Amino acid sequence: MARELPSFTNPAEWIKSLSDPAWTQRFSASAPSANQIASFLGIISNPKMMEGMLNMADPTLMAAWLRAAANPAFLNALMSAGNPAMLGNYMAMMGDPRLLETLVRMGDPQVMEPYLRIITHPSYIKGMMKLADASLMTNYMRIVTDPKMFDNALKLADPQLMTGYLKVMADPAFMKMAAKLASPRVMEGYMKMVADPAFIKQMLTLGGDTRMLADFLKLTLDPGWVSTMLKTVDPQLMQAWMQTMMRPDTMQAMLKFMDPALMAQFMQAGVAIMGAAPDMAGAMGGEKK
């Protein structure tokens, strides 16, 4: 006999149910069936459950729900199943604008942590690319480039989590697909984010000894990326980007890799921006005192 679901109006009962170790045991013991995966997904994405949880905005309930959704055993089972419909439903649930708004409004880094771990998980990113859904990609980019979301990631001060976050932002294949599928307005948010001194500082700190920084620099100097940035016709954005590229630590990072192609792309990007906005000369030479 199926276990009776707890009342949607009782947070304590839902917390107990979502935190039940039986879920992990069920998904870890053996390869779960598609029905088992669909059943669990159906429980955590139940419209009444979602609506009640978001309306209550109870931090403990939100944390329990997110940890259930981020359960590694369940996530691995979902990704391994390779069912596009279930994967799409899961990603639509995690990209629900109401969920993001509630998380941001609560401003609790500890509640945000499991959410950030989900959306930066390599399997999640692979699934996103496999689906190649414009709506899902737009929602995802809106989430990861939200300034408050990034601020929460910084507050957690977790190197592993931040590295996962930055790897997504520096993945050339993923970002090229995002530029192709996501709305231009959302991509502008990404460009503003990568020109943010706080973002660059984290990238240089955590990516200095890996290829992640090289991938990031190659991505932001890619002619297609620069062309997209120029189409935004935002002088402040272009100036911020040029100042970022001219920072001593950024230049040192590029020289460290000693990649002639990368340096050539940097010069070409500078020429393209100077041609589109001659008043960016100040950015090339640094801010005037």
Model pLDDT for residues 73-97, shown as the tens digit of each residue? 888 888 777 788 888 888 888 888 8
pLDDT of residue 232: 62
pLDDT of residue 186: 78
Q: Domains of the chain: which residue ranges?
A: 47-191, 221-289
pLDDT of residue 6: 62
Report the predicted TM-score, pTM, of the whole model to 2 decimal places: 0.68
pLDDT of residue 8: 63
The CA distances from residue 162 to 129, 159, 165, 204, in Å, are 21, 5, 5, 12
- Residues in the chain, pLDDT under 50: 1-2, 281, 283-289
* CA neighbor of 159 nearest in space, from 206, 214, 111: 206
pLDDT of residue 278: 60
pLDDT of residue 132: 84
* pLDDT digit string, tens, across residues 184-240: 777 778 877 877 778 877 877 775 556 677 777 777 777 777 776 677 656 777 777
* CA neighbor of 273 nearest in space, from 213, 219, 216, 232: 232
Q: How far apart are CA 202 and CA 179, in angstroms?
A: 23
